[in-house]
Amino acid sequence: MRNLEIASIFREIATILDIKGENVFKIRAYERGAQNIEGLSESIEKYASEERLREIPGIGHDLSEKIKEYLATGRIKSYEELKKSIPEGLLDILNIPSVGPKTAKLLYEKLKIKSIEDLEAAIRKNKLAGIFGIKDKTVENILKGIDVLKRGRERMTLAQAMLIADEFVKPLGGLSEVKKISVAGSLRRQKETVGDIDILVISDKPKKIMDTFVKLPLVKDILAEGDTKASVRTKNDIQIDCRVVEQKSYGAALLYFTGSKNFNIKLRQMAIKRGLKINEYGVFENEKFICGKTEEEIFKQLGLSYIEPELREDSGEIELAEAGKLPHLISLNDIRGDLHTHSTWSDGESSIAEMAETAKTLGYSYIAITDHSESLKIAGGLTIADLKKKKREIEKLNTSLKNFRVLYGTEVDIDSKGNIDYKDAVLKEFDIVIAAIHTGFKQSREQLTKRIIKACQNKYVHIIAHPTGKLWGERDAYDIDLEEILKVAHDTNTAMEINAFPNRLDLNDHHCRRAKELGVKLSIGTDSHSITHLEGMKLGISVARRGWLAPSDVINTLPVEELLKTIKK
């Protein structure tokens, strides 16, 4: 599967075109292409071999030719030429949030800055001061941006980890010598971000597994290679650890390497209290092997009910497992609809009918089409006249759809003072209104908190979308008093969103758990901008499970009539 390689090339092309001041539509086309390819669940090779590339939203003639060229030759000629037309290293600087093409060019021309290291050195030596257009505030923002970028590079998003892990688990799992294979570590715990990927295999022929593992196509370097374990670095600089164990120790190894570290430590202490020893090989009593084949039997031996990997953080789950009182966690099957999606009416790639069709194939019984509101011009916000047409289109579609309903929605902008973009008379026409902040992230904590609280108090706002505004690798959460907001959300019957878009996952797991404690309802929305994003729901479910949520805590597990009743203020 070469989806990620191609998507990253398209992103670079977009950036280079941006530096060169090319047409914005052309730039957007590459960005959109990249985004849609990243969202695919099938391999791009499969699309190509079946001549279906143009079925991918945002992939037209030009982009599909480039994909074919890459798959056939391993390169894209026009991309390589494009890369030569700008100074080397400039692209890296542009990855810093807040540094645009103009600043990057200025830095290169005045100070010969070609890398993030050059830039950091220049800032340390105070060389940026006095350059036209660069203020103290700009330097401060650049430093913040470098920090966000570096943290983003240390850990990948859960979505990236899932895709990359698949590139290893699928081919290894296909070997006849492999009896069982699983991911472990933070990926199995479904953490929002993952440091390195851990893979565990049962086999009697570890050598064969090791040999195959270190030679898989995505591998760039071998970091370590032994008889039963190896570590490699992938072409996109991700570390993968693979271990082979015997069947009788599989459960013990899976438990150990799933972690978390704190969870393991607590478990070991519990074992000691029972006169047992636990390690990655099994549970022992005075050196005598008691069990180790499955996690279930180990938990049982320790007097615990089974603890789902998402809960293994030593934050109270072990005590509850001892008392047999663990919460029943939500799963993807519980979801009946998506409450945050965009269509071609605003900045989406797919029509309402296409979104509804795909939602049906996912087993949903409804989808809310929540396009942007009027003031968000950059994202194609809808005017009042557009809204009327969109509403009619949905009504018409609903008459032809069986056992499925399209909800007429909006993602309305919360302005800098907390006012809602549309008037009440317009708002009350919607089935569902989600409100979000898209501008003015740098306001004070008080201002930002007040804005969201005011939105919660609006009679027509049902959900606050991506409440903290975090974008992994691009932007930190803005500064809000979430505790205060959650209290108001509870009092005003406003749901808080878990935005399932891969680099958002906001609210996060801790926030969800607190929201649940305060009796606040949650909603999971994918923020899909095309049909290929709708499957992102699974990422929102990961957050919800890590946040201890049950189906009853999440409003889009409800049938549509109950949902509409529940959200009413």
Residue 118's binding partner among Ca ion, ligand DGT, none (Cβ under 5 to 8 angstroms by kind) is none
Does 250 engage in binding with ligand DGT (CB under 6 A)?
Answer: no
Comparing every residue's Cβ against Ca ion, the nearest one is 185
Residue 569 interacting entry, from ligand DGT, Ca ion, none, C-beta within 5 to 8 Å by type: none
**Secondary structure in 3-state letters for 184-240:** EHHHHCCCCEECCEEEEEECCCHHHHHHHHCCCCCEEEEEEECCCEEEEEECCCCEE
| Contact between 259 and ligand DGT per CB under 6 A | yes
Tell me which residue has its CB nearest to ligand DGT.
Answer: 259
Lookup: tokens for 152: 């983003």
Choices 109-117, 253-261, 492-500, 554-562 (CB under 6 A): range interacting with ligand DGT: 253-261
**Shortest reach from residue 455's CB to ligand DGT, in Å:** 34
DSSP class of residue 315 equals S
d(CA 484, CA 225): 52
b vs e for 478-501, b when ≥16 Cβ sit within 10 Å of the residue's Cβ? bbbebeebbbbbbeeebbbbbbbb
Residues contacting 538, CB < 8 A, separation 6+: 332, 500
Helices (H), 438-508: 445-457, 482-492
What x-and-dash track marks residues 235-274 binding Ca ion by CB under 5 A? ------x---------------------------------
Calculate helix-pair angle for 158-173, 537-546, nearest 10 degrees: 100
Backbone φ and ψ of 158, nearest 5°? -55, -40
Backbone φ and ψ of 509, nearest 5°: -60, -45
Phi-psi region at 291: left, alpha or beta (left = phi > 0; alpha = psi -120 to 50)? beta
Cα distance between residue 530 and residue 351, in whole Å: 8
Q: Please tell me whether residue 233 binds ligand DGT under the rule CB under 6 A.
A: no
Q: How many residues bind ligand DGT (CB under 6 A)?
A: 13
Using rule CB under 5 A, residue 192 touches Ca ion: no
Tell me if 151 contacts ligand DGT by CB under 6 A.
Answer: no
| Site map 198..237 versus Ca ion, x via CB under 5 A | x---------------------------------------
Q: Which residue(s) pair with 337 in the sheet?
A: 366
Q: CA 107, CA 559: separation in Å to the nearest integer? A: 56
Residue 198 makes contact with ligand DGT by CB under 6 A? yes
Residues 456-515 that bind Ca ion (CB under 5 A): none
Distance set, CA 164 to CA 168, 170, 533, 548 (Å)? 7, 10, 18, 27
Q: Decide: is 196 part of the binding site for Ca ion (CB under 5 A).
A: yes
Total site size for Ca ion, rule CB under 5 A: 5
Residue 272 binds ligand DGT (CB under 6 A): no
Give the one residue of 58, 89, 185, 547 binding ligand DGT; rule: CB under 6 A. Answer: 185
Pick the closer one to Ca ion by CB: 163 or 482: 163
* 24, 223, 265, 272: which one binds ligand DGT (CB under 6 A): 265
How many helices and strands, by DSSP H and E, does the chain display? 24, 17
Pair type for strands 229-234 and 522-525: unpaired
Piece of 195-203, 206-214, 306-314, 440-448 that binds Ca ion (CB under 5 A): 195-203
Q: Which of 10, 168, 257, 430 touches ligand DGT (CB under 6 A)?
A: 257
Q: Which lies closer to ligand DGT via its Cβ, residue 200 or residue 368? A: 200
Residue with tokens 């729901």: 537
Nearer to ligand DGT, 261 or 442 (CB): 261
Of 229 and 514, nearer to ligand DGT (C-beta) is 229
Q: Which is nearer to ligand DGT, 155 or 475 (CB)?
A: 155
Distance CA 259, CA 185 (A): 6
* Residue 309 binds which entry of Ca ion, ligand DGT, none, CB below 5-8 Å type-dependent: none
Point out which span in 61-69, 195-203, 420-428, 474-482 binds ligand DGT (CB under 6 A): 195-203
- Cβ(490)–Cβ(566) below 8 Å: no
Among 195, 327, 380, 440, binds ligand DGT (CB under 6 A): 195
Member of 260, 331, 365, 492 binding ligand DGT (CB under 6 A) = 260
Contact 148, 474 (CB under 8 A): yes
Binding site for ligand DGT (CB under 6 A): 185-186, 194-196, 198, 256-257, 259-261, 264-265
Binding site for Ca ion (CB under 5 A): 185-186, 196, 198, 241
